[in-house]
Structure formats: structure tokens, C-alpha cells
Structure 1
């Protein structure tokens, strides 16, 4: 998979979070668990929409994936 430069990703996330409605951010501190979860879900959706500008593809086309050694002996 293509790696995204950390600085570029951080900048895009920062700009995206600055554009989130303040009510969503306030929802993260709500004492009601359901409202906190809803706020987190809506913020994740906002970030997903923002990150659609990235073109992320697998560079390993046609190459078999190896199992992770610590998971599969």
C-alpha cells in the first residue's frame, strides 16, 4: 500500500478537524455515552470525507501476501 507522508496527513487531519462543527467536538465530552459515540461516529465520517482526496492503492498487485510471523507460526 502506498504510504502517505506523515506531515501531509497531519495537515489534512488538522484542517479537517478545524472544519468540524463545534457541536460535534462538544459531543465528545458529553456525559451521555450514546451522544459521545454519535459524536465520534460523525467526526470519523467527516474525516473520511476529507481524506477522499488521497489516492491510496496497493503496490503489491499480483504479489502473494505473507502471513505475519507473530500470528502464524
Structure 2
């Protein structure tokens, strides 16, 4: 694939060491932890109870975040 300019695609676009690469954020040694079944159980239970309107209010999001020990961003 050639860019609009006609030259080859620069190698930095695919370089994982590039700080703007989507996977570069994980290179500092900190690893993301996957959610366990125990932490997702309250979320699934809430979703089952609210099948017709699966959009939690702000208060429900806060409650779910506390119950699951997740951040509001993770619950969102």
C-alpha cells in the first residue's frame, strides 16, 4: 500500500516502541489484569435484571463500581 505521497509507508508507523503505537503503553512493565468471574458476576446480574433497559444511571454505575472494585471508567 502506498501513501498519498507515493513513497513507502514509514517504518515508525508499525514500530511498537513508538510512544503513539497502541501497544506501547504496556511496555513499562505494568500489566493489565483481566476481570475475574467473581468481579463480573454483579455486572452480569445487573444486566440480566435490566434486559429491557440496559443503561445504568450514574448512581447504579457508582454502586456497580464499588461492588466490583472497578473504576467508573471500567464499569461504563
Which TM-score applies when normalising by structure 2? 0.31
Q: Which has the higher helix share?
A: 1
Which TM-score applies when normalising by structure 1? 0.32
Structure of greater relative contact order (alpha carbons < 8 Å, 6+ residues apart): 1
